[in-house]
Amino acid sequence: MHFPLPNTSIRGIALAATFSALIIPGAQADSAKGKEIAARYDQIDNGFGDHVATATMVLKNSGGQSSKRELTVLTLERGGGKVGDKTISVFQSPKDVKGTAVLSHAKLTANDDQWIYLPAAKRVKRISSSNKSGPFVGSEFAYEDITGQELGKYSYNWLKTEKCGSATCDIVERVPLYKNSGYSKQHAWFNQGNGMIMRIDFFNRSGDLAKRLSFSKYKNVSGYLRPHLMRMENLRNGKSTDLIFNNYRFKSGLSASDFKSGSLKNLRW
């Protein structure tokens, strides 16, 4: 966590040292527990290989008015090295965004690599690391929200246990270690029963609670739990974006060659 000693007496310094000795073991234990919980989530999902899903994106403004977009999401599991999961989000409708595609290469410990294909311009543009906090195609999701949440990208600290609906969750604070994150920290709710994430609270760079992402309607698909609804709420402007997933298909024959930036112009999905 990112939470000078003033001039004082030797006795005061001794007391401060004693106090630090008392709290550090507990802090270390909470850090280890937090990473252990996050690692369990990371391990549960290993081995899926790849999957394709269709999704409906519902954007709502503060007045309750909504609009919809349809997209296809492709994911390739990390194969080792320094690159994590790779994803492509391809918009199918409406007409003004049809063909737009965003490719993400999650890094295990560093800034992710991301590209966007704009069909009107017929070109692929790299998304700079300083723009990852910007809105993902006008939604309440940021570009950094849609890429793999790899274990090594955060430091962890277990905070407490709390009810989350009918389940019990461990709340773990995670602090981004990569540069240019739009968040100072995140609080993630991990279901003690199945290890899945139920909710993430995002705190902006000023440390204020800004957004909340809820995961629900988990279903077992080919032996893997997948949320069929993800809702991102902007707690500062009243807007929200739902991602409603359907038709998960695993082992679809995707390969690393499908997830190259040059392939975005000729996607077959």
The string over 174-212, giving b where at least 16 C-beta atoms fall within 10 Å of a residue's C-beta and e elsewhere, is bbbebeebbbbbbbbbbbeeebbbbbbbbbeeeeeebbb
H or E segment and range at residue 102? strand 101-107
* Sequential pLDDT tens for the chain (269 residues): 343 433 433 334 343 443 344 445 567 879 999 999 999 999 998 889 999 999 999 999 999 999 999 999 999 998 776 789 999 999 999 999 999 999 999 998 888 999 999 999 999 999 998 888 999 999 999 999 999 889 999 999 999 999 999 999 999 999 999 888 999 999 999 999 999 999 999 999 999 999 999 999 999 999 999 999 999 999 999 999 999 999 999 999 999 999 999 999 888 77
Is residue 40 in some structural domain?
no
Half-sphere exposure of 61 (CA within 13 A, CB side): 5
Task: Judge contact between 82 and 108, C-beta under 8 A.
Answer: yes
Of 221, 191, 169, 145, which Cα lies nearest the Cα of 41?
Answer: 191
Neighbours of 44 (CB within 10 A): 13
Give, in order, the Cα–Cα distances in Å from 51 to each of 37, 63, 80, 85, 247.
25, 35, 18, 11, 10
Is residue 36 in some structural domain?
no
Is residue 11 in some structural domain?
no
Please tell me the predicted confidence (pLDDT) of residue 129.
81
Task: Judge contact between 148 and 106, C-beta under 8 A.
Answer: yes
What end-to-end distance do the CA atoms of the chain give, in Å? 42
Is residue 238 in some structural domain?
yes
Is residue 28 in some structural domain?
no
Give the SS3 label for residue 254: coil
Containing structural domain, residue 169:
47-266
Residues in the chain, total: 269
Tell me how far apart the alpha carbons of residues 264 and 88 are, in angstroms, rounded to a whole number: 9
H or E segment and range at residue 29? helix 10-44
Please tell me the predicted confidence (pLDDT) of residue 18.
39
Give, in order, the Cα–Cα distances in Å from 195 to each of 44, 74, 218.
8, 23, 12
Please tell me the predicted confidence (pLDDT) of residue 81.
67
Is residue 125 in some structural domain?
yes
Tell me how far apart the alpha carbons of residues 84 and 104 are, in angstroms, rounded to a whole number: 10
Is residue 115 in some structural domain?
yes
Is residue 35 in some structural domain?
no
Our count of domains for the chain comes to: 1
- Write the CATH number for 119: 2.50.20.10
pTM listed for this prediction:
0.86
Give, in order, the Cα–Cα distances in Å from 211 to each of 151, 185, 205, 227.
21, 11, 12, 19
Peptide bond before 176: cis, by omega within 30 degrees of 0? no
Task: Judge contact between 243 and 224, C-beta under 8 A.
Answer: no
Contacts for 82 with CB less than 8 Å, ≥ 6 apart: 107, 108, 109, 110
Please tell me the predicted confidence (pLDDT) of residue 21.
41
**Which tokens belong to 150?**
């790899």
Please tell me the predicted confidence (pLDDT) of residue 11.
36
